[in-house]
Amino acid sequence: MLWLLLACARYEGPPQETGLADAYPRPLLVSAAAPHPDVQWLDVRPEADWAAGHVPGAAQVRWTDLAGYDADGVWTAAEVEAAAALLAERGLRAGVPIVVYDDWSDSWGGDGFLYWTLRQMGIPDVQVLNGGWDAWVAVDGPMATDTPPPGDLAPLGFEDVQASTEEVQAALEAGTPMLLDVRSAEEYEAGHIPGAHWLEYTRALHADGRLRTPEDLADLLADAGLGDPDAPVITYCAGGIRAGHTFFVLELMGYTQVQDYVGSWRAWTAAGGAVESDAVE
């Protein structure tokens, strides 16, 4: 029990956190302390961690199962149909709201990337658990080692939320959409797409993995040059995973035209895209 006591000691949930669904411009974030009737869970931690204990009934998939290299060796996301088939095989059902969670301390923002994956296939009612697995443990949430039966999840359409290298090149030439680099300052300064704004994805998080308040996030976004929630934005990182997390944050904050450049820096440099190097502002 010592590990549970330590986890509880370091988790400091904000007052009235159970009202998270109403706190942000879009109701995409849920609290471990709130009741969760009629939802299904998607655990995106490594399989061994899921097997050791998870939210009862949770399906499991890792972001590495849904991204990889294409025939040309360029980093890419799984096709929508293939992603849906895998998620159904792991236990996700059609027509039931989904809550995604991860271990924020051992992740590149995989919960946000899985949110993006489900958005791309047109799945409605997808939310993210604030603080991830640590938050669940901290409130003594129930745990199980069960394996859900296969589900029947299927794409309900195709949402245009993935940017291609050609679209990023067009944005560079036209000055819109805004390009947002969410890698570390060191990565950005070593080389980035010319004109890209910078906001490291971890800056949206508290030290315990919870999202910052709507007011704090609004200030962070404004400092990075974002303001109009209807203005188009393309996020990128090294391979689209961290960019998927920032995609989620932007949608949480009411942004309506966001795309993740899956492939990101790896795809851009493989294509011979222009590069500049300067310090973060």
Name the average pLDDT for the chain: 91
* CB of 144 closer than 8 Å to CB of 55: yes
Q: Rounded CA gap, 192 and 146, in Å?
A: 44
| Every domain range in the chain assigned CATH 3.40.250.10 | 2-138, 165-270
Give the residue carrying structure tokens 């996700």. Answer: 92
Q: Residue 253 — φ and ψ, nearest 5°?
A: -85, 10
The model's pTM? 0.91
Q: Is the pLDDT of residue 33 over 50?
A: yes
Average pLDDT over residues 96-106: 92
pLDDT, greater one: 38 or 9: 38
Residue 112 has, within 13 A of its CA and on its CB side, a CA count of 31
Superfamily of structural domain 2-138: Rhodanese-like domain (3.40.250.10)
At the topology level of CATH, where does 165-270 sit? Oxidized Rhodanese; domain 1 (3.40.250)
What strands, in cross-sheet order, belong to the sheet with 258-260?
Answer: 197-198, 178-181, 233-236, 258-260
Encode pLDDT of 259-277 as tens digits.
Answer: 999 999 999 999 999 999 9
Q: Rounded CA gap, 133 and 104, in Å?
A: 8
